[in-house]
Structure 1
Amino acid sequence: MEKIRKSEEEWRAQLNPEEFRVLRRAGTERPFTGEYTDTKTVGVYRCRACGTELFRSETKFDSHCGWPSFYAPSDSDAVVLIEDRSMGMLRTEVRCAACDSHLGHVFHGEGYGTPTDDRYCINSVSLNLEPAE
């Protein structure tokens, strides 16, 4: 996958302040406020910063956690997983493999009964939904 590299100024010009805070500064949107939390629309979820395909609606499920949840990325090469020890806990951060934007976190073994037993908890502001035609 080709890496997308931009300066901080270029990202600030492209993204609105909330998108920049989450995607480039690893922020988190407030739970139950994102536009895709409860969306059932069939389609492809792309990185809001670079347009790379990240998730498909077939893997989205209701976790009732306050953010869109997926049990797998559309391609394992689409995301990068990074150990995150911030906020006094050990988590796994999910980033876009193409542009290194923060997407959210992935959790394993929570008992949701998904095929992978993973919950990719992703900020809506990190995504753009491309509805199927």
Structure 2
Amino acid sequence: MAEKQFKLEIISPDRSFYNGAATMIEYRTTEGEVGVYAGHIPMTQIIAPGVLTITEGDGTKKQAALMSGFVEILPEKISILAETIEWPDEIDKQRAQKAKDRAEQRLKSGDNSLDMVRAELALKRALVRLSFK
């Protein structure tokens, strides 16, 4: 028996990132990891930096680095408004490594004048990008 599909639309400020059918998506929210199938109750969620996994109807899985935004879930459609989202081949690994190093230095410095929350978020984003080999 084929799994029920839903329409998935992902848009960012600079492009329509994905528009197609999926059987499941998995991503990270501010409340933790989430997996959503068709027919889910309506809700909205806030995205936290993490890996987005899209499972298409044929079982193909696609992954992307999803940094922040909002998700609107309806029984037959899921919309993701992403502030930043990248396919693995779009990630600049050297830039991500430099961002990770900078964020770690800021966090280790103990300098209270630095915005530690901002440094922690920069570190999380860099680690998500570097998680793709």
Range of TM-score over shorter length = under 0.3
* Higher Rg: 2
TM-score, with structure 1 as normaliser: 0.25
Higher RCO, Cα 8 Å, sep 6+: 1
Q: Which has the higher helix share?
A: 2
TM-score, with structure 2 as normaliser: 0.25
